[in-house]
Amino acid sequence: MKAEHYVGGVFRADGRTFPLIDPVDGSELGTVPEAAPEVVDDAVTAARAALKGEWGALGDEDRAAALRRVADGIEARFEEFVAAEVADTGRPRAFAETVDVPRAVGNFRAYADLLYGRPERSYTTRIPGWSAGTGQALNYTVRRPLGVVAIISPWNLPLLLSTWKIAPALACGNAVVLKPSEETPSSATLLARVVHDAGLPGGAFNVVHGHGAGAAGEFLTGHEGVDAIAFTGESATGAAIMRNAADHVTPVSFELGGKNPALVFADADLDAAVDGTVRSTFTHSGQICLCTERVYVERPVFEEFAERLAARAADLHGYGPMISAEHRDKVLSYYRLAAEEGATVLAGGGAPAFGDERDGGFHVEPTVLTGLPETARTVREEIFGPVCHVAPFDTEEQAVGLANDSPYGLASTVWTRDLSRAHRVAPRVETGIVWVNCWNLRDLRTPFGGVKASGIGREGGEYSLDFFSEPVNVCIQI
Ligand SMILES: NC(=O)C1=CN([C@@H]2O[C@H](COP(=O)(O)OP(=O)(O)OC[C@H]3O[C@@H](n4cnc5c(N)ncnc54)[C@H](O)[C@@H]3O)[C@@H](O)[C@H]2O)C=CC1
Ligand SMILES: O=C(O)/C=C/C=C(\O)C(=O)O
């Protein structure tokens, strides 16, 4: 797959390039063009022109039809999308087949339905409503697009997370400029092909490739022609983007990092809790912002739970690599830090040796730690790898306190058979999402996002439509 910019309906790859590295074995997969400020400027200009042209003139029904054509186009190129995600990230093929690509299709269909639903599938409608005011005026509210939306996406779920923002942004009638992660350019380029073939007017959707700080990402988020920014990635990057966007008071929607807690009560179905925590900690080698990194277990079942979790971690096979040598080094530096901080390593703790070409890649071992104080950096900082720290607690109050003692607040899991406890604990855990006896069970209509350093705003269903459009109240004196 050749990575190309897509600007104003035209593919181009002018200027400098950088190498794309295969995380499985460290080999070079190809090159990626690095967007200079002029390319970013062209993309923003093309997006603005689309809003004033054919794209901006389309009604809801036609935009919904366009989204459905994109969804169909992704399905038609299912194998190519799977190959692109597997090549860029080194993830197991089954993950791309069952998660990434179906969710990208689902993202476009969900927002097409929300915008202009088929009766049998629609869960809501969004017809500009009106309400009678008191006295001598009639008030009604219409929604209009924000304008040019910049979307900055990360490398961990490249297609899933970019389409999660692109679909609602387009549904609301905005024009989009996407800057995918420099580590994972392929599925974005392919998506541009699908959008092109689906006949969306040039400029409605644009892709510029390149790095973040001091490069394409920063040029785009500081561009005066950008009306809103939607970003998923690290919290520190969110802060940098906010500073950059401040001069133009550009609104932001941020989905940022986490240090997600799991609370396992002694009354839980322990088999389900162990299974669920294996999934929530090690899925995609821990490179999902929702992954668990802190596990708190009620003391009577602590030893058994920790032993079983460690045994399962030690027995994991076929897991994918870290995205890059740099990220592998970061995760391994936390494994070393944990040892220095006094952790007991129950499983893993290093880099595996396969004795084949994978030894040139960026794998780390699934790791379970215990014995650290809550003040340890390993327990407080986001690692973003296949690792968790397990610690005991004695009371429900203490469990909630431990979960909340974090600068982050994205997602949590609560494992209990006691329904009253579940309802009591869930609202008290300071995270945007609380899963009870499950993890990452998704309904695309529900609010998705984090509190504290884990984000600003919510996306999903109507919440996304609220961010990507502007309510305008019309008041008519009668
Ligand atoms: N969903 C999440 O919570 C994610 C968290 N991370 C965390 O972030 C760490 C670093 O991974 P990165 O890919 O470097 O994440 P990042 O947050 O630096 O990058 C995400 C996106 O932001 C862009 N970007 C970076 N700096 C920018 C800037 N100043 N202005 C505009 N755009 C900018 C990047 O090019 C990329 O497209 C990981 O080790 C992990 O801890 C990474 C990806 C997703
Ligand atoms: O890793 C992230 O940043 C977000 C992950 C989101 C999903 O898995 C989801 O929307 O289902």
What is the tens place of the pLDDT at every residue in 429-470? 999 999 999 999 999 999 999 999 999 999 999 999 999 999
Band (135; pLDDT cuts 50, 70, 90): low
Residues 195 and 289 in one domain: no
At residue 193, the pLDDT reads 98
At residue 121, the pLDDT reads 40
Residues 322 and 466 in one domain: no
Strands (DSSP E) found in 343-423: 344-347, 367-370, 387-393, 408-409, 411-415
- Is residue 431 within 8 Å of 409, Cβ to Cβ? yes
Name the pairing type of β-strands 411-415 and 175-179: unpaired
Residues 229 and 330 in one domain: no
How are the residues of the chain apportioned to helix, strand and coil, as percentages rounded to the nearest 5?
40, 20, 35
Distance, CA 161 to ligand 2 centroid (Å)?
A: 6
Active-site residue, from 182, 255, 293, 382: 255
Residues 385-413, mean pLDDT to the nearest whole number: 98
At residue 122, the pLDDT reads 37
Residues 329-352, mean pLDDT to the nearest whole number: 98
Band (134; pLDDT cuts 50, 70, 90): low
Interatomic CA distance for residues 265 and 422, integer angstroms? 10
> Residue 128 pLDDT more than 70?
no
**Domain contains 405:** yes
Residues 177 and 273 in one domain: no
The pLDDT mean for the chain works out to: 95
Nearest residue to 393 (alpha-carbon basis) of 268, 269, 278, 272: 268
Name 206's bridge partners. 177
DSSP, res 427: G
Band (25; pLDDT cuts 50, 70, 90): very high
Band (200; pLDDT cuts 50, 70, 90): very high
Band (478; pLDDT cuts 50, 70, 90): confident
Residues 248 and 280 in one domain: no
Measured CA to CA in angstroms, residue 431 lies from 38, 385, 409, 427 at distances of 40, 20, 4, 9
Higher pLDDT, 121 or 160: 160
Residues 27-37, mean pLDDT to the nearest whole number: 97
CA nearest ligand 1 atom 41, residue: 384
- Is residue 26 within 8 Å of 325, Cβ to Cβ? yes
Q: Ligand 2 test: best mutation among 290, 327, 458, 464, most atoms within 8 Å of CB?
A: 290
**Domain contains 361:** yes
Residues 78 and 96 in one domain: yes
- Is residue 313 within 8 Å of 278, Cβ to Cβ? yes
CA nearest ligand 2 atom 11, residue: 442
**Domain contains 393:** yes
Distance, CA 156 to ligand 2 centroid (Å)?
A: 9
Interatomic CA distance for residues 124 and 58, integer angstroms? 21
> Residue 124 pLDDT more than 70?
no
Residue type, 453: A
Cβ-Cβ contacts under 8 Å for 172 (sequence gap 6 or more): 115, 143, 145, 146, 465, 468, 469
Is the C-beta atom of 146 inside 6 A of ligand 2? no
Distance, CA 340 to ligand 2 centroid (Å)?
A: 32
Residues 91 and 223 in one domain: yes
Residues 219-236, mean pLDDT to the nearest whole number: 98
**Domain contains 448:** no
At residue 118, the pLDDT reads 56
> Residue 120 pLDDT more than 70?
no
Residues 37-57, mean pLDDT to the nearest whole number: 98
> Residue 139 pLDDT more than 90?
no
Name 230's bridge partners. 151, 253
At residue 137, the pLDDT reads 84
> Residue 131 pLDDT more than 60?
no
Q: Ligand 2 test: best mutation among 91, 157, 256, most atoms within 8 Å of CB?
A: 157
Atom number of ligand 2 nearest to Cα 442: 11
Interatomic CA distance for residues 327 and 321, integer angstroms? 10
Name the pairing type of β-strands 10-12 and 5-7: antiparallel
- Is residue 66 within 8 Å of 200, Cβ to Cβ? yes
Is the C-beta atom of 289 inside 6 A of ligand 2? yes
Band (132; pLDDT cuts 50, 70, 90): very low
pTM score: 0.95
Among 11-25, 130-144, 186-200, 237-251, which is the least confidently predicted range?
A: 130-144
Residues 405 and 347 in one domain: yes
Band (16; pLDDT cuts 50, 70, 90): very high
Percent of the chain beyond pLDDT 70? 96
DSSP, res 97: I
The CATH number of residue 85's host domain is 3.40.605.10
Interatomic CA distance for residues 76 and 436, integer angstroms? 36
Whether 79 sits among the annotated catalytic residues: the reply is no
Nearest residue to 23 (alpha-carbon basis) of 94, 91, 100, 84: 91
At residue 141, the pLDDT reads 86
Interatomic CA distance for residues 62 and 71, integer angstroms? 14
Q: What is the pLDDT of residues 423-437, one digit of tens each?
A: 999 999 999 999 999
> Residue 133 pLDDT more than 70?
no
Atom number of ligand 2 nearest to Cα 289: 1
Residues 145 and 282 in one domain: no
Residues 135 and 196 in one domain: yes
**Domain contains 468:** yes
Atom number of ligand 2 nearest to Cα 164: 10
At residue 126, the pLDDT reads 40
Is the C-beta atom of 442 inside 6 A of ligand 2? yes
> Which domain does 304 fall in, by range?
260-443
Band (197; pLDDT cuts 50, 70, 90): very high
How many domains is the chain partitioned into structurally?
Answer: 2
**Domain contains 379:** yes
82 sits in which H/E element = helix 78-89
At residue 119, the pLDDT reads 47
The CATH number of residue 325's host domain is 3.40.309.10
Is residue 202 classed as helix, strand or coil in its secondary structure? coil
Decide if the complex's ipTM is over 0.85. yes
100 — alpha (psi -120 to 50), left (phi > 0) or beta? alpha
Angle between helices 60-76 and 186-197 (to 10 degrees): 130
Residues 392 and 466 in one domain: no
Is the C-beta atom of 161 inside 6 A of ligand 2? yes
- Is residue 108 within 8 Å of 67, Cβ to Cβ? yes
Interatomic CA distance for residues 367 and 346, integer angstroms? 7
At residue 83, the pLDDT reads 98
Is the C-beta atom of 391 inside 6 A of ligand 1? no
At residue 14, the pLDDT reads 87
Residues 48 and 141 in one domain: yes
Interatomic CA distance for residues 389 and 48, integer angstroms? 48
From the DSSP assignment, how many helices (H) and strands (E) are in the chain?
17, 22
Is the C-beta atom of 218 inside 6 A of ligand 1? yes
Token reading at 179: 């800057």
Phi first, then psi: give them for residue 322, nearest 5 degrees: -70, 160
Residues 115-136, mean pLDDT to the nearest whole number: 51
Interatomic CA distance for residues 11 and 354, integer angstroms? 40
Band (127; pLDDT cuts 50, 70, 90): very low
**Domain contains 24:** yes
Token reading at 109: 């269909």
